[in-house]
Amino acid sequence: MKKTYFLLIAAAVAFGCGKKDKFMYGQVATQPIMNPDLKSILKDNVILNSVLDSSGVIHGLTDKNAFSTSDQFQSFNHSGYSISNALTPYTYDKNTVIVATGTVLTPIVHYSQDYGFTWDSIAPVLTPAVNSGGYYETDLSVYYINKQNFAMVYVLKSATNIHKKLIYKVNIATKQGTLVNSWQDFYIPMSVKFTNDTIAYMLIYRSSVNGTYISKTTNGGSLWSAPLYFDTKNLSVMQVADKGNLCVYEPNSYATYSTDSGAHWRQSAYSSNFNTLQMVSPSLSFALTNNGLVKSSDTGKTWNAVQGTGVDFNSMKHIYFNTDQKGLIYTDQQMYMTSDGGATWKTLLYPYPYIISN
Partner 1 sequence: MKTSIFRNILWLLPLLVVQLSVNAQDAAKDAKAPQDTKNEKKTSSQKKKKTVVPGPKYAIDLDAGYAYPINTQLSSVFTGGLDASLGFKMAFLKKKLWIRPEGGYQFYTKRADLGESVQEVNQAWKAGVEFEYKAYEVKKFSFFPLVRADYNWFSNQFSKQISGETTNSQIIPTGENLLTANTYSISAGIMIVRSGFVYVKLDYEYFKPTLTVNPKLVNAMLAQGYTMADKQTMDLSTANIKIGFNLNFKH
Q: Which is nearer to partner 1, 31 or 54 (CB)?
A: 31
Alpha-carbon distance values, 29 to 24, 143, 304, 349 (Å): 11, 51, 41, 22
Q: Which is nearer to partner 1, 1 or 173 (CB)?
A: 1
Smallest distance from the beta carbon of 5 to partner 1, in angstroms? 7
Smallest distance from the beta carbon of 350 to partner 1, in angstroms? 6
Footprint on this chain of partner 1 (rule: CB under 8 A): 1, 4-5, 7-9, 11-34, 350, 352-355
Smallest distance from the beta carbon of 331 to partner 1, in angstroms? 17
Can you tell me the distance from the alpha carbon of 257 to that of 254, in angstroms, rounded to the nearest whole number?
10
Q: Which is nearer to partner 1, 29 or 226 (CB)?
A: 29
Smallest distance from the beta carbon of 71 to partner 1, in angstroms? 17
Smallest distance from the beta carbon of 42 to partner 1, in angstroms? 11
Element of type H or E holding 149: strand 149-157
Question: In 3D, which of 119, 89, 92, 114 has the Cα closest to residue 101?
Answer: 89
Q: Which residues of 54-67 are buried (b: 16+ CB within 10 A; e: fewer)?
A: eeeebbbbbbbbbb
Chain centroid to CA 257: how far? 20
Smallest distance from the beta carbon of 37 to partner 1, in angstroms? 14
Q: Which is nearer to partner 1, 43 or 193 (CB)?
A: 43
Residue 50, phi then psi, degrees to nearest 5: -155, 145
Q: Which is nearer to partner 1, 34 or 140 (CB)?
A: 34
Question: Which residues are CB-neighbours of 233 under 8 A, at least 6 positions away?
Answer: 210, 211, 212, 250, 253, 254
Q: Which is nearer to partner 1, 213 or 336 (CB)?
A: 336
Alpha-carbon distance values, 15 to 2, 5, 6 (Å): 20, 15, 14
Question: Which residues are CB-neighbours of 196 under 8 A, at least 6 positions away?
Answer: 146
